[in-house]
């Protein structure tokens, strides 16, 4: 291999060592500017600077050459996501401000898309917007009916290899029927309360009977019951996050629900139940007034209509 002298008094180097000086490493192809995107079939044209305005986002990585991009038949960058709500994401990239129409109804979809693109400032802006919408929501009522029973559970305990014994224990089974005229509040509740099953947490929102009605069933810890038996017998436990606390009694349940409700503007209805009996009552009612023009008489009229439609389960007397 030929050696190339570098000059008097300097060592020579082989031509192979100098190849990178003459042939630099290949670079990813430069992005054209402006760029046309095909997002779920909808075309958007914007600048490279806009798409890379948040370098830590997925879009920032894609259009700075850190991630590969797909192309459609026309040569446009293709992203297989919802094209309709992408306009709000693109506008945020342009202005760093969240602009939504007053009647926007797809907040959940937009939040999922923001999570996908990993635009952290947009995710935070959406969280603030949801809190703002919840606080701006009109008058609402919240009714919680509580029921509790003791049930015997039978299970097997492995005492030694191939040796099992039959055991039983009493367990507390809790039931809460929750009705609220505020769908947003039930979503808020669903972001705080989770079922624990097979060691995994799952949101209670999947148990919504309808947007205004939620039924919860869970058990307290059962003495001596092996962990796998909870899954085998479909026994769910209830947890509150981010406190990461298990709910083993109605008192703890109501304390946590009350914290969430009060932070969302609800207050205890002074007529039902009496404040002294609040934590021991089977039926709890909370109310929230946003519009001062709505009279108490009108509010009670709405409540009566809910009773007539059997939204509420009154206990036996």
Residue 11 within any structural domain of the chain? no
Confidence tier at 310 by pLDDT (50, 70, 90): very low
Please report the pLDDT score of residue 6 as a whole number: 52
pLDDT at 15 over 80: no
Domain boundary among 100, 115, 136: 136
Residue 225 has pLDDT above 90, yes or no: no
CB distance 215 to 206 below 8 Å: no
Among 105, 136, 167, the domain-final residue is: 136
Residue written as token pair 């401000």:
97
Residues 6+ apart with CB under 8 A from 236: 195, 196, 197, 217, 218, 219, 230
Q: Supply the CATH number for residue 50's domain.
A: 3.30.710.10
Q: Does the pLDDT at position 63 exceed 60?
A: yes
Report the C-alpha gap between 287 and 293 in whole angstroms: 15
Best CA proximity match to 113, nearest among 68, 70, 78, 83: 83
| Average pLDDT score over residue span 14-19 | 47
pTM: 0.50
Residues 208 and 112 in one domain: no
**Average pLDDT estimate for 197-217:** 81
Instruction: Give the chain's end-to-end CA distance (angstroms, integer).
Output: 102
Predicted pLDDT at 167: 75
If asked whether residues 85 and 199 sit together in one domain, one would say no
Question: In the numeric block, which tokens belong to residue 72?
Answer: 């459609």
pLDDT tens readout for residues 206-215: 667 688 899 9
Residues 113, 144, single domain; the answer is no
Query: Per residue in 122-138, pLDDT tens?
Result: 999 998 888 777 666 67
Any domain includes 15: no
Q: Do both 162 and 185 map to the same domain?
A: yes
In a domain, 109, yes or no: yes
Measured CA to CA, the distance from residue 92 to residue 127 in angstroms comes to 14
> For residue 299, with 0-12 CB atoms within 10 Å meaning exposed, 13-18 middle and 19 or more buried, which class applies?
middle
> If you average pLDDT over residues 161-185, what whole number do you get?
85
Number of domains in the chain: 2
Name the average pLDDT for the chain.
Answer: 78
Answer yes or no: is pLDDT of 98 > 90. yes
pLDDT of residue 21: 44
Exposed, middle or buried by CB within 10 Å (0-12, 13-18, 19+), for 226?
Answer: middle
Q: Is 120 in the same domain as 198?
A: no
Residues 174 and 77 in one domain: no
How far is residue 47's CA from residue 36's CA, in Å, rounded to a whole number? 9
Q: Phi/psi of residue 191, each to 5°?
A: -85, -5
Q: Exposed/middle/buried for 254, CB within 10 Å: 0-12, 13-18, 19+?
A: buried
Q: What is the SS3 assignment for 108? A: helix
* Range ranked top by mean pLDDT from 23-37, 77-91, 184-198: 77-91
List of E strands, the chain: 3-4, 13-14, 35-39, 42-46, 70-71, 77-79, 140-160, 163-180, 193-197, 200-203, 208-210, 213-219, 237-240, 245-246, 267-268, 283-288
Q: How confident is the model at residue 157 (pLDDT cuts 50, 70, 90)?
A: confident
Print the domain residue range for 217.
Answer: 140-308
Q: What percent of the chain has pLDDT over 70?
A: 74
Q: Residue 27 falls within a domain, yes or no?
A: no
Most confident of 87-96, 141-150, 201-210, 265-274: 87-96
Pair (124, 147) in one structural domain: no
Q: Quick check: 227 and 207 in contact, CB under 8 A?
A: no
């Amino acid at each position: 291999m030929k050696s190339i002298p570098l000059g008097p008094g300097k060592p020579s180097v082989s031509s192979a060592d100098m190849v990178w000086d003459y042939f630099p490493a290949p670079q990813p192809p430069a992005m054209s500017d402006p760029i046309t995107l095909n997002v779920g079939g909808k075309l958007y044209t914007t600048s490279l600077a806009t798409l890379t305005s948040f370098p830590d986002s997925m879009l920032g990585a894609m259009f700075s050459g850190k991630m590969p991009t797909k192309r459609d038949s026309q040569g446009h960058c293709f992203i297989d996501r919802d094209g309709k709500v992408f306009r709000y994401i693109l506008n945020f990239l342009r202005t760093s401000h969240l602009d939504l129409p007053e009647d926007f109804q797809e907040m959940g979809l937009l939040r999922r898309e923001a999570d996908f693109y990993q635009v952290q400032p947009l995710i935070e802006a959406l969280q603030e917007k949801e809190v703002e919408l919840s606080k701006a929501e009109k008058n609402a009522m919240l009714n919680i009916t509580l029921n509790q029973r003791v049930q015997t559970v039978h299970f097997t305990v492995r005492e030694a290899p191939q040796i099992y014994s039959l055991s039983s224990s009493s367990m507390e089974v809790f039931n809460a029927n929750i009705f609220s005229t505020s769908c947003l509040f039930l979503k808020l509740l669903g972001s705080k309360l989770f079922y624990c099953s097979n060691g995994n947490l799952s949101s209670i929102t999947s148990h919504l009977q309808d947007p205004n009605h939620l039924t919860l069933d869970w058990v307290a810890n059962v003495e001596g019951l092996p962990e796998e038996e909870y899954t085998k017998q479909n026994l769910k436990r209830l947890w509150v996050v981010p406190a990461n606390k298990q709910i083993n009694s109605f008192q703890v349940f109501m304390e946590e629900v009350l914290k969430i409700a009060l932070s969302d503007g609800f207050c205890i209805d002074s007529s039902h139940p009496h404040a002294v009996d609040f934590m021991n009552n089977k039926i709890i009612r909370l109310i929230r007034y946003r519009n001062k023009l709505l009279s108490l008489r009108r509010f009670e009229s709405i409540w009566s209509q809910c009773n007539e439609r059997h939204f509420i389960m009154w206990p036996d007397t």
